[in-house]
Amino acid sequence: MHGSLLAKSTDNFIPAKSPRESLRSLITSSDLAFAMEAHDGLSAAIAQRAGFKALWASGLSISSSLGYRDASEASWSEVVDVVERMANVADIPILVDGDSGFGNFNNARLVARKLRQHCASGVCLEDKAFPKMNSFVGDRHPLADVGEFCGRLKAVKDQVPDPEFVLVARIEALIAGHGQDEALVRAHAYAEAGADAILIHSRKSDAEEIFAFTRAWQNRLPVVIVPTKYYRTPVSEYRKAGISTVVWANHNMRAAISAMRQVCDRIIREESIAGIESDVATLDELFDLLKYQELSAAEKRYLPQTENGVR
Ligand code: SPV
Ligand code: MG
C-alpha cells in the first residue's frame, strides 16, 4: 500500500510512503491546506473519507483517547504506535504532533526517525521543555532556550534526511506571553536551523496576533496555524494573509466525546437502545470504513474454494 521500501540496513529501515499528495507539496503550495485531527485508525479513516488531504496526529487527542493528560504522560512509543495504526488505514499524509520532542535532541531525533519508519510524513516540535503542558492549560509554559531547541531541530534533520519528511517548528512565545519580537527571533532561528515550516500558536479569541506575526514574517517559511480558540475567523482571512496550512486540531476527539456522552446518557436513562439506533452510525458504515469488502474479496482469492463458496 505504501510503495517501495528504502531499506539499506535493518536499523535504517524507512518505508517510503507514497500518499496521493505529499505533505511537503501541500505545505509549500500557494493554496491554503487543511489538516484534520485524528487520534486512531478509525478517526483517520473518517477524516480521509470526508475528503481531507492531510491528517494532524494530535498529541492532545491521542493522549485523551489513551486516557492520559496532554502533559507528556503518553510515551513516545505509545504515540508512534497510534500513528502506525493511523497510517495503516489512511493513505493521506500525517503530520505528527511530536510535542517538545520527548526530551532533548536525542529523544527528538529518535522519535522523528521512528515516526518516519511508521509512515508519518512530518513532525511538529514545539519550543518547550519536557514535560510539556497543553497550551490551553494554565499559565506556566516555560520556553526552551533558543539554541538548545535549534539543536533539537538540527538533530531531527540530520537523523531523517528524507526530503519528503517535513519538520515543523512550533513557536509558543505568544502562548507564554512573550510577544511578537520573541516569536520572530525564534522563527528566524528555527528557519536557520533547518525547519521546513513554522507553526505559530495563539490562544487569543481573535487572530490579530497571528496576522501581526505573518505581516512581519513575510512567509520566509510557510506558516501553519491552529485556530482552536480563534475559531470565528473565516478562512478567507488566512488565504489573504498567505497562511499555508490550517490545523483543525481536536475536533474529531471532541465530537466523539459529545456523541458518546449523549448516547451513554440516553441508554442509561431509557434502559434501551431503541431510541438511539437512528442517531448512531450503522454497522454497515463501520464495515465500509474499515474495508470489510476487501477482506471478502481476499478470501475468495487466497482461501481454498469449495463449490458452495469459501471453505
Ligand atoms: C494538539 O492538538 O495536541 C496541539 C494543539 O498541540 S493544542 O492543543 O492547541 O496545543
Ligand atoms: Mg499537542
Residue 279 lies in a domain: no
Compute, in angstroms, the gap from residue 49 CA to the centroid of ligand 2.
24
Beta bridge partners of 110: none
State the Cα–Cα distance between residues 150 and 195, nearest whole angstrom.
9
| Integer Cα distance of 38 and 36 in angstroms | 6
**pLDDT tens string 32-65:** 999 999 999 999 999 999 999 999 999 999 999 9
DSSP assignment of 169-204: EEE-TTTTT--HHHHHHHHHHHHHHT-SEEEE---S
* 176: CB partners within 8 A, 6+ apart: 141, 142, 143
The answer as to whether 277 is a domain residue is: no
Q: Residue 10 has what pLDDT?
A: 35
**Residue spans of alpha helices (H) in the chain:** 23-28, 41-50, 59-65, 76-89, 105-117, 146-159, 180-193, 208-217, 235-240, 251-270, 283-289, 292-302
Taking only the tens place, the pLDDT of each residue in 123-180 is: 999 999 999 999 999 998 999 999 999 999 999 999 999 999 999 999 999 999 999 9
C-alpha cell at 81: 504506535
* Domains contained in the chain, number: 1
Q: Whose CA is nearest to atom 10 of ligand 1?
A: 135
Which pLDDT does position 310 carry in this prediction?
Answer: 59
Query: What's the gap in Å between 207 CA and the centre of ligand 2?
Result: 19
Q: Please name which of 110, 189, 179, 185 lies closest in space to residue 147, comparing C-alpha atoms.
A: 189
Written as one string, the DSSP assignment of 236-286 is: HHHHHTT--EEEE-SHHHHHHHHHHHHHHHHHHHHT-STTTGGGS--HHHH
Point out the ligand 1 atom lying closest to the alpha carbon of residue 226. Answer: 9
> Per residue in 242-297, pLDDT tens?
999 999 999 999 999 999 999 999 999 999 999 999 999 999 999 999 999 999 99
CA distance 40 to 48: 12
How many Å lie between the centroid of ligand 2 and the Cα of residue 138?
15
Residue 126, in any domain of the structure: yes
Check if 70 is active-site. yes
pLDDT band for position 309 (cuts 50, 70, 90): low
Report the alpha-carbon distance of residue 196 to residue 192 in Å, rounded: 10
In a domain, 189, yes or no: yes
Domain span at residue 82 reads 15-251
For residue 21, is pLDDT > 80?
no
Collect residues with CB below 5 Å from ion ligand 2. Answer: 59-60, 97
- Of the ligands numbered here, which is closest to the C-alpha atom of 57? 1
Helix (H) or strand (E) holding 6: strand 5-6
Distance 216 CA to ligand 2 centre (A): 25
- Looking up residue 222, the CATH number of its domain turns out to be 3.20.20.60
Q: What is the rounded end-to-end Cα distance, in angstroms, of the chain?
A: 27
- CA–chain centroid gap for 115, Å, is 11
Residue 36: inside a domain, yes or no? Answer: yes
Q: Give the number of the atom of ligand 1 that is nearest the alpha carbon of residue 59.
A: 3
Quote the cell numbers at residue 170: 512550533
Which atom of ligand 1 has the smallest separation from the CA of 99? 6
Q: What is the CB < 6 Å shell around ligand 1?
A: 58-60, 70, 97, 134-135, 226, 228, 249-250
Q: Has residue 132 been placed in a domain? A: yes
Q: How many CA atoms lie within 13 A of 233 on its CB side?
A: 23
> pTM for this one?
0.93
Assigned domain for 4 exists: no
Q: Is residue 308 part of a domain?
A: no
Of ligand 1's listed atoms, the one at least distance from the Cα of 126 is 6
From the candidates 70, 99, 127, 196, which is the catalytic residue?
70
